[in-house]
Structure 1
Amino acid sequence: MDDQKEWPEPIVRVQSLSESGAAVIPSRYVKPPSERPCLEPPSSSDDGEGLGIPVIDLGRMAGGGVDCPAKIREISDACRDWGFFQVVNHGVSPDLMRRMREVWREFFHLPMEEKQRYANSPQTYEGYGSRLGIQKGAILDWGDYFFLHLLPPSLKDPNKWPKLPSSCRETVEEYGRELSNLCRAVLGALSTSLDLDAGYLQRAFGGDDVGVCMRVNYYPRCPQPDLTLGLSSHSDPGGLTVLLADDHVKGLQVRRAGAWVTLQPLPDAFIVNVGDQVQVLSNAAYKSVEHRVAVNAAAERMSVAFFYNPKSDLPIGPSPELLSPERPPRYQPMTFDQYRLYIRQKGPRGKSQVDSLLKSSPPCHYSTTVNSDGS
């Protein structure tokens, strides 16, 4: 990444700004009027089930079974119609979900000097961070985060795994194993729905050599939530994302039919969405969807985003089995190592990244000096 070892400006922790008691946010966080959030969800979308987002009971599919046509059709329809869905009865214990929330909430409430031990850099983004993108003078998001690598093992840096709370490392390892199983099951369903064999997309991701990472997002209270965002509009650059969200504080907004819909997480559920790599592999049969995060004046919010990504140096392009003279390839192939540099350099910018891979678009060129991390 142009050998950038430091951020272009001094890092200010958003949590510190929130706790200062200031009534006005710094201008660096004020979004242009066209990008400011809609804080009230459209009432017409509220059907009592996550504000319209499909809710899928995975049942035995969470254990690896992908031969249930009704469930596969539900997942396929949700991905084609929304790009997002919630899963219940997913095989991950509510106790583990509760422990993940507890250890990370405790981490973000540790003294600042303890958290600063894990401060991250633009080289890998691993650790405690407060911005995406390295452009000097960029408008920033109202949120802090902690980013960790889980797979491949060669990328795990033990110095970046928090020692406090004492149960954090063990909890994250257990969570990573359970959610990897869930992602494999969802990939199997998506493969089958495309009339491919159940293991196709997993192999396209690199088989057992996938990249797995997670980002714990912490959105402190904001005195002017109508002027900023916790996370700007973007589609996820990776393969699959599984989100563990606060079920008592809303914030995630999904773009649908030109409007922003605020999602309501259900208790003990995960929110799942497809990323750009699945859009490319499926030749746009499935499309990643723009989403963003609104913040709150009354309450903090935390979420855990789990990313299941292709092997970082594997070229990803439209699957040959899905192509025909009537359906030619829509995207130029690119490794995930190259692809993720866009958001790393520019920050979240809608769907401009995946659109740049369209065959009718000029090829994009990014600096490729960056550590491989599967994020």
Structure 2
Amino acid sequence: MPILSIRNVSKLFGPNAAQGVKLLEQGQNKQQLAKEKQITVGVNRVNMDIEQGEIFVIMGLSGSGKSTLVRMFNRLIDPSAGQILVHDKDIMKMNAEQLRQVRRKTISMVFQKFALFPHRSVIDNVEYGLEVQKVEKSKRREKAKQSLELVGLKGWEDKMPDELSGGMQQRVGLARALANDPEVLLMDEAFSALDPLIRRDMQDELLDLQEKMKKTIIFITHDLDEALRIGDRIALMRDGEVVQIGSPEEILMQPANGYVERFVEDVDLSKVLTASHVMRRPETITPDRGPRVALELMRERGVSNLFVIDRGKRLLGAITAEDASRAVKDKLTIQDILIPECPVCPPDKLIGEMFEQSSTSPIPISVVDEENRLMGVVVRGSLLGAMAGGANNEGVNANAEQLDIG
């Protein structure tokens, strides 16, 4: 079951909003309602499920409705129509006390503006939400300290907000949200006010935190690079509607329509796609087979090298056709000609970081998991094909497989 489900949620502004909801259902569009009824459509019949533990990014240009949408998740803004289900319970049917508990225990929010109290110390800011909940002082102090340590601000507890940089102030805001130990973090343009370098650091910090916390994070941004970098899935909005939901790779390689295609056309794919996206099936052999068998396999499969694995599919190294031919002549074994130091990488390595490694090795790069099991190989042609764009990938990869370009 998703932690958060959005069902046909709309938000209209104007004196005739209720009438506008019916007109939307009858097929009228945003422009017609604005012109004929003076109704502004902020969010238009949005549906999405957000899963436990994922970073779900909602993005779009200014005016696309993303911030209005996220503020409905905890009813800072009430929807004009639709359901918002938290653990399958509709928050639109909750009374004031139930809603307060959702905001305190289930969903916390980190805003673009840090909203720190200038007269309170860092730790007093972080424990403020717990103070409002009347949590006993020693307990809230301990939770605040733990949150500050999580965001890398241990030792800064007694500083005042004006003694901190912008990035550090944003960390305080994040620590304040974490102190409540919420299930869901709403982050509305949380890093957009930061300088580019600090923003990049905060993105890294968030990804590191997520490794430890496994929270559900709903992140709002207008920055496509940021969305692609941190999102497990992305919802792209336009004029109050969701035009596509998918993984970063799906958004880039399988755009739903011309708008999405134009939106992503200038993205540097080398900073987004990973080894797992471009790897192909490896041609393998076990070390108990002879070099004559290896040569025959290479001939049948049209390749110039094989990857040597044990019975558990763990990578031992590679052999080349030239070395196998020499081994047949000199009566050597595969172990005798094994190249153990072949290039390897994890499946999540960005392809932009692989070009140098690929260009200096005659052997394709082996993609291995944490236990050194061989998952696939990346040939130079696959890297070039990925950079050329999704439409050309299949042809370039096929040529690379036939030629076995290292």
Q: TM-score range by the shorter chain?
A: under 0.3
TM-score of the two chains, using structure 1 as the length reference: 0.24
TM-score of the two chains, using structure 2 as the length reference: 0.23
Answer 1 or 2: higher relative contact order, Cα 8 Å, separation at least 6: 1
Choose 1 or 2 for highest CA Rg: 2
